[in-house]
Structure 1
Amino acid sequence: MKNTATDLNPFSLMMEPELVLQTMERSQQLRGLRRHKLRPLDKPLIPYTKEALAARAAFDAAIDAEDFEAHADSFLLN
């Protein structure tokens, strides 16, 4: 049987996934955590207006149209 020092060694835990699960099940700290459901943040809480979407599209188009290679030479130190 393995001793406690080996069970808690993070390197040995990486090599033995079964031991990780057993250690997690025995952990008082993990059992004491409050559990709550997290929801994805795919949708904004406040819907965007048409004007905001148009402004974002115009800004993106301006960035896409800008020629960064022409400006790159002015930033080079050589």
Structure 2
Amino acid sequence: MTLLALDLNPFSLMMEPELVLQTMERSTQLRGLRRHKLRPLDKPLIPYTKEALAARAAYDAAIDAEDFEDVADAYLLN
């Protein structure tokens, strides 16, 4: 096989990591990519109101208070 055929064969690239690095360094497509840093959002896109936060807390508390074992037992017994 020629060197070009080895470069294009994904199985040979998986077995030879140094060849992968060499191929990446020679790639004009990879060199042409724009590089920029992505940062996580500092703030949520939709600001939460006090009412929305209270409603979420109430919903979470209701879920936490629910006894899922009894519900599951009743479901499995029927």
When normalised by structure 2's length, the TM-score is 0.66
**Uncovered stretches (5+) of structure 1, i.e. residues with no partner:** none
Aligned residues: 77
| Residue aligning to 1:49 | 49
Q: Which sections of structure 2, spanning at least 5 residues, go unmatched?
A: none
> Is residue 4 from structure 1 mapped to residue 11 from structure 2 by the alignment?
no
Find the aligned partners of 2:65 and 2:46 in 1 and give their Cα distance: 29
RMSD of aligned alpha carbons: 2.7
Q: Normalising by structure 1, what TM-score? A: 0.66
Any idea what SS the aligned residue of 1:76 has?
Answer: helix
Number of the residue aligned with 2:25: 25
Q: 1:71 to 1:32 in 2, by over 3 A?
A: same
Moved over 6 A (4+): none
